[in-house]
Structure 1
Amino acid sequence: MDLDVVAWLHTVDGRLLAVRSRGRDLLYLPGGKREPGEDDWSALSREVREELAVQLDEGSFREVGVIRAPAHDQPAFTHVRMACFTAAYQGDILPAGEVDEYRYVAPADRDLLAPAARAALDMATAQGLLS
């Protein structure tokens, strides 16, 4: 079974933005599941607004790639299919909704990340987004 989600890859000074949701032990990327009828842009902009209180810029919205990895805190054999995007934003990043904290992680911090976020970090590194 695959969970189909979207994620925001936002980097600053060679580090990737990650969030910790309430009750979770590992960090995830901002984003989440689509609601019925939502396209990638609608789902990601809504999720990021709910989680970090910022508005993504649709004109700069770009797909980076799609990863598939084991889902953390889900039943055995569940995987995440995560479409990853970059976009500029307006506002000040603040934890909101189900997000308790955010932080910027370097490739050396990959053990702090859930499996799909680790795979996205590796993809971002390979594509030069963290340099």
Structure 2
Amino acid sequence: MRLIDKIAWIHLEQGTILSTRSHGKDVFYLPGGKREPGESDVETLIREIDEELSVTVAPSSARHFGTFEAQAHGHQDGVLVRMACYTADYAGIISARSEIAEVQWLTHADRDRVSPVDQIIFDHLLDLKLLLPHL
């Protein structure tokens, strides 16, 4: 079994969650990515969010929201993704950059448009009443 270690940003506004779609991908993912050797979770979060969305995460505001695991989208069976999710404040204007083709605000009604691990997170956010069921 192979495990993909990722860090993601949970950014909610008015019951919607910020999601991104990379060029050539057919589903949305929470913004974030894989850690580089020696990076902490927060260092990875800061680097990835800057690379993908052109904003600066405030490190002192980063809070672990939860860690979730599921089959990795687009990979053979048995390849899992483990995603450590953080909330954090930021500075700047969110805009797609680098490999990101599209940025959208999603609700739970968009669950079928996201990766399997994000589906688990969407369900959890709905249970906590942090994510709207639909607009």
TM surpasses 0.5 = yes
| Counterparts of 1:58 and 1:127, CA distance in 2 | 25
User: Does the 8 Å CA contact 1:10/1:86 hold for their aligned counterparts?
Assistant: yes
Secondary structure of 2:69's counterpart equals: strand
What are the ranges of 5 or more consecutive residues in structure 2 without an aligned counterpart? none
Question: Deviation digits for residues 55-107 of structure 1, max 9, x if unmatched?
Answer: 00112100010000110011221110000100011000000000000101001
User: Does the 8 Å CA contact 1:68/1:116 hold for their aligned counterparts?
Assistant: yes
| Counterparts of 1:15 and 1:40, CA distance in 2 | 24
Does residue 36 of the first structure (1) align with residue 63 of the second (2)? no
| Counterparts of 2:29 and 2:129, CA distance in 1 | 20
Residue 93 of structure 2 is matched in structure 1 by 92
Residue 51 of structure 2 is matched in structure 1 by 50
Secondary structure of 2:7's counterpart equals: strand
Q: Structure 1 vs Structure 2: percent identity of aligned residues?
A: 42
Moved more, 112-121 or 47-56: 112-121
Residue 20 of structure 1 is matched in structure 2 by 21
- For 1:89, the aligned partner's letter is Y
TM-score by length of 1: 0.95
Q: Between Structure 1 and Structure 2, how many residues are aligned?
A: 131
| Counterparts of 2:85 and 2:130, CA distance in 1 | 12
The Cα of 1:2 is off from its aligned counterpart by: 1.0
TM-score by length of 2: 0.93
User: Does the 8 Å CA contact 1:68/1:82 hold for their aligned counterparts?
Assistant: yes
Question: Deviation digits for residues 12-50 of structure 1, max 9, x if unmatched?
Answer: 110111000011000000001000000000001100000
- For 1:52, the aligned partner's letter is L
User: Does the 8 Å CA contact 1:5/1:34 hold for their aligned counterparts?
Assistant: yes
Secondary structure of 1:118's counterpart equals: helix
The Cα of 1:129 is off from its aligned counterpart by: 2.9
Residue 78 of structure 1 is matched in structure 2 by 79
